[in-house]
Amino acid sequence: MAVRAVRGAVQLERDEAGHMDEQVGALLTAVLERNGLTPDDLISIWFTATPDLHSDFPAAAARKLGIVDVPLICAQELDIEGAMPRVVRILAHIESDKPRSDIAHVYLGAAAALRKDIAQ
């Protein structure tokens, strides 16, 4: 079994904890479904949020989905002028037999513009 990395992002409409839970939950669910993964396949997940998001930790959404024994960490994205606002990004490390080329990176909604080269 190989270690692989899966990227993803979602842009929030507003900075509210319930909305963040919903959107980050949808992102994580899509990553798992599109890659045929279960929480047991997860090694760890890095979450980043743009500096304009303050309402909650993105990792809280993972815990609410039942991802409870996977190491999670949150960090702040760089504050770059002109960058897309209200974005949560993930970098999930997984165990998978899939080749790198078959990993589905998930960019939901407007966040698809961030990585048109790999968004699925």
Asked if pLDDT for residue 119 goes beyond 80, the answer is no
Q: Is residue 97 domain-resident?
A: yes
- Identify the DSSP state of 84: P
Contact 26, 10 (CB under 8 A): yes
Hey, CA dihedral for 114, 34, 88, 21, is it positive or negative?
A: positive
Q: Is residue 120 domain-resident?
A: no
The mean predicted confidence, pLDDT, of the chain is 95
Contact 114, 84 (CB under 8 A): yes
* Domain of residue 55, residue span: 2-115
pLDDT class of 116 with cuts at 50, 70, 90: low
Domain count, the chain: 1
Find the CATH number of the domain harbouring 58.
3.30.1330.40
Distance from C-alpha of 57 to C-alpha of 55, rounded to nearest angstrom: 7
Write down the pTM of the prediction. Answer: 0.94
